[in-house]
């Protein structure tokens, strides 16, 4: 489930309703005091809080007016645990809006700003006797079914969702009079519905420094929370066992009391509070001299945060399953050296490639902003009366961002390299780094990129850096490398695009791989070492990520056969394998292995031509 949009009203600077959309990676840019942090904290209120501070209410808003935060989700699973004992389809429960999305609105009201109401904004039945089923108890649902003459034979009458579905299904769809309404769910399905929502973790820029400094603790606590989520079924079983054992001895104790004081015994009843497993575990980090991490400088603490993200990226890229996660980080550049800032951005971009993750961050830093695909940028502005809005993602906004952050053209650039995506960037950077150590005419593209001499052009987007430099009318060499994708005699998939580049002449050249894609040029030995599998020698038009994902799945001990997985799960596993191929497996290559896997020498040809432009 993915966060598609948040709508905010009466929260801090957002008195009028404000809406902002989200991608897998979203960078929020604005001048100071426009409301970047408030967006992240509104999300924190939605996912994690039941009460807000009085100061969170927008200035000029009366206590009788509520703060409203609405999150809209897409990629909704076909099944959700809505009742504690039932799995249902959101569509059949009429929980989705007219766009097929799940829109949930939390209202914080009163002087104390407590969350008193939660609604699902859905296309829901409005006909009498069919509009209020979520508010009814099981007994009331059975009675309603009887009144309406609904046969509950074969229906599990201990499950509310089953009875609701039977009642709704008993009449033609048009009789339900579906309309866009708000269905109150706080007292009914909100708590179990929360289990299906992404985990949200916010890392603020202005954390206080104290013995309990969350700068160091939050990432570890979040890792503990995520690990426990993966074992929720086992923990529930442990909790049920503990409750059973405690209840037995407690009941026995009450019976003993009854023998001596029946009145007192009648007043006693064991009531169990929910158990917070995350508080069972704690971790502390110390350095030389046993100085705790939260006593170190702010730069060191933030550096730990950087490497928490980097470690998590590596962990997820290894194919480990995880729940949907939203990681929000405010001003990641705070207290960091520029090199560390770029490392963090790479880690965030890497995390966002995993289907389970969404990354949201704010920045003032032109060094970071210029490296981001401009389609992932949200530029916030406000008008003369203080109303906030998100600027359209067009050239005028890109120019405004450039001027706001001071993004200047980089006149050190010597070559643009066109690739299909971030995996190709990893492939070229890593193989060039390996070859450059022994072959003098092969450049280290990673070093050239860090030095600002090379800029990659992703086919699917345009970074602010690329846009800024193109805007200035630079006439620089371009080398494009495209996958063939299809086997001969069919022409390469992007042949027309390659022809257009080559037709420009001069220093603009386009190449197409002789095989399916770059992954086919990785030696099978490197792949097998990285994944611990037994992949046969790779052929030119094998779907290498798919084959690797299938072998990894087979060796994982999963009870489900690869063929039984749906297309989405297979695709997700293949995507994870593709990322790992272009990071781990390619790093296990050497010149000898490349001689065997790329007998035509195309990789060396690309790199030498790029290197000639860097001279």
pLDDT in tens, 139-149: 999 999 999 99
Q: What is the pLDDT of residues 414-457, one digit of tens each?
A: 998 989 888 999 999 999 999 999 999 999 999 999 888 998 88
Determine, yes or no, domain membership for 296: no
Determine, yes or no, domain membership for 250: no
Residues near 590 by Cβ (< 8 Å), separated by ≥ 6?
Answer: 434
Q: Give me the pLDDT at residue 317, please.
A: 45
83 burial (CB, 10 Å; 0-12 / 13-18 / 19+) is buried
Determine, yes or no, domain membership for 135: yes
Residue 246's pLDDT band, with cuts at 50, 70 and 90, is confident
Q: Give me the pLDDT at residue 400, please.
A: 84
Q: Give me the pLDDT at residue 525, please.
A: 97
Q: What is the pLDDT of residues 566-592, one digit of tens each?
A: 888 899 899 999 999 999 999 999 999
Residue 107's pLDDT band, with cuts at 50, 70 and 90, is very high
DSSP sequence for 3-27: EEEEEEESBTTB-S-EEEE--SEEE
Domain boundary among 173, 199, 225: 199
Determine, yes or no, domain membership for 340: no
Q: Has residue 473 got a pLDDT over 60?
A: no
Q: Give me the pLDDT at residue 29, please.
A: 93
- β-bridge partners, 183: 120
Q: Has residue 340 got a pLDDT over 90?
A: no
Q: Give me the pLDDT at residue 319, please.
A: 44
Higher-confidence residue: 313 or 260? 260
Q: Which of 597, 591, 570, 580 is nearest to 531 (CA)?
A: 580
Determine, yes or no, domain membership for 475: yes
Taking the C-alpha atoms of 431, 436, 437 and 438 in order, what is their torsion angle to the nearest 10 degrees? 100
Q: What is the pLDDT of residues 186-228, one digit of tens each?
A: 988 888 788 778 888 887 755 443 334 444 455 566 667 767 7
The Cα–Cα gap between 525 and 533 comes to: 10
Q: Give me the pLDDT at residue 210, please.
A: 38
Q: Which domain holds residue 462?
A: 415-614
Q: Has residue 320 got a pLDDT over 80?
A: no
Question: Based on the structure, what is the number of domains in the chain?
Answer: 2
Measured in degrees and rounded to the nearest 5, phi and psi for residue 89 equal: -90, 130
Q: Give me the pLDDT at residue 321, please.
A: 41
Beta strand segments in 460-601, E: 478-482, 508-512
The Cα–Cα gap between 443 and 433 comes to: 8
Domain boundary among 182, 199, 216: 199
CA 399 distance to own-chain centroid? 28
Determine, yes or no, domain membership for 358: no
Q: What is the pLDDT of residues 276-301, one digit of tens each?
A: 666 666 655 555 555 555 555 555 66
Determine, yes or no, domain membership for 432: yes
Residue 239 is encoded by which pair of tokens? 């909790």
Asked if 356 and 322 count as a contact pair (C-beta separation under 8 A), the reply is: yes
Q: Give me the pLDDT at residue 303, please.
A: 61
Q: Region 246-256: what's the mean pLDDT?
A: 73
Domain boundary among 199, 220, 248: 199
Decide the pairing of beta strands 454-458 and 478-482: unpaired
Determine, yes or no, domain membership for 486: yes
Residues near 236 by Cβ (< 8 Å), separated by ≥ 6?
Answer: none
């Amino acid at each position: 489930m993915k966060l598609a949009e948040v709508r905010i009203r009466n929260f801090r600077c957002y008195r009028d309703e404000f809406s902002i959309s989200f991608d897998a990676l979203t960078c929020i840019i604005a001048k100071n005091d426009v409301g970047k942090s408030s967006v992240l904290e509104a999300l924190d209120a939605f996912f994690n809080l039941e009460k807000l501070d009085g100061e969170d209410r927008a200035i000029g808003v009366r206590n009788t007016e509520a703060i409203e935060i609405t999150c809209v989700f897409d990629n909704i699973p076909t099944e959700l645990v809505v009742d504690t004992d039932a799995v249902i389809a959101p569509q059949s429960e009429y929980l989705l809006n007219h766009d097929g999305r799940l829109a949930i609105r939390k209202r914080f009201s009163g002087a104390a700003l407590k969350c008193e109401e939660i609604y699902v904004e859905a296309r829901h039945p409005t006909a009498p006797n069919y509009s209020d089923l979520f508010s009814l108890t099981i007994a009331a649902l059975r009675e309603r079914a009887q009144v309406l003459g609904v046969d509950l034979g074969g229906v599990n009458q201990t499950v509310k969702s089953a009875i609701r579905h039977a009642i709704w299904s008993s009449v033609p769809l048009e009789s339900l009079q579906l309309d866009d309404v708000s269905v109150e769910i706080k007292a009914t399905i909100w708590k179990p519905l929360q289990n299906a929502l992404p985990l949200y973790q916010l890392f603020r820029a202005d954390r206080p420094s104290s013995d309990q400094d969350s700068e160091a603790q939050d990432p570890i606590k979040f890792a503990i929370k995520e690990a426990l989520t993966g074992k929720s079924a086992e923990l529930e079983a442990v909790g049920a066992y503990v409750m059973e054992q405690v209840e037995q001895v407690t009941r026995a104790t009450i019976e003993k009391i009854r023998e001596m004081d029946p009145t007192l015994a009648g007043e006693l009843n064991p009531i169990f509070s929910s158990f917070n497993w995350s508080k069972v575990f704690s971790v502390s980090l110390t350095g030389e001299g046993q100085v705790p991490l939260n006593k170190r400088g702010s730069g060191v603490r933030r550096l730990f945060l950087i490497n928490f993200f980097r470690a998590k990226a590596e962990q997820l890229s290894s194919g480990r399953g995880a729940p949907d996660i939203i990681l929000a980080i405010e001003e990641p550049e705070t207290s960091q050296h520029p090199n560390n800032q770029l490392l963090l951005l790479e880690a965030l971009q890497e995390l966002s490639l995993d289907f389970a993750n969404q990354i949201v961050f704010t920045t003032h830093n032109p060094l970071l902003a210029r490296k981001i695909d401009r389609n992932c940028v949200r530029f916030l502005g406000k008008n003369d009366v203080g109303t906030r809005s998100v600027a359209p993602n067009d050239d005028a906004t890109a120019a405004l961002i450039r001027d706001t952050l001071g993004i200047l053209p980089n006149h050190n650039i010597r070559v643009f390299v066109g690739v299909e995506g971030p995996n190709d960037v990893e492939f070229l950077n890593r193989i060039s780094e390996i070859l450059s150590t022994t072959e003098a005419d092969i450049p280290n593209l990673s070093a050239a990129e860090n030095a600002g001499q090379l800029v990659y052009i992703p086919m699917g987007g345009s970074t602010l850096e690329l846009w800024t430099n193109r805007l200035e009318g630079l006439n620089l060499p371009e080398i494009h490398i495209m996958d063939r994708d299809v086997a001969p005699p069919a022409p390469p998939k992007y042949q027309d695009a390659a022809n257009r580049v080559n037709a420009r002449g001069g220093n603009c050249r386009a190449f197409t791989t002789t095989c399916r894609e770059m992954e086919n040029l990785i030696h099978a030995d490197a792949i097998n070492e990285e994944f611990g599998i037994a992949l046969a020698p790779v052929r030119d038009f094998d779907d290498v990520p798919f084959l690797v994902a299938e072998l990894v799945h087979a060796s994982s001990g999963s009870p489900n056969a690869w063929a039984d997985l749906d297309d989405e799960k297979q695709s997700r596993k293949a995507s994870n394998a593709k990322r790992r191929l272009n990071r781990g497996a390619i790093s296990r290559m050497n010149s000898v292995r490349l001689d065997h896997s790329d007998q035509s020498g195309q990789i060396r040809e690309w790199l030498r031509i790029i290197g000639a432009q860097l001279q």
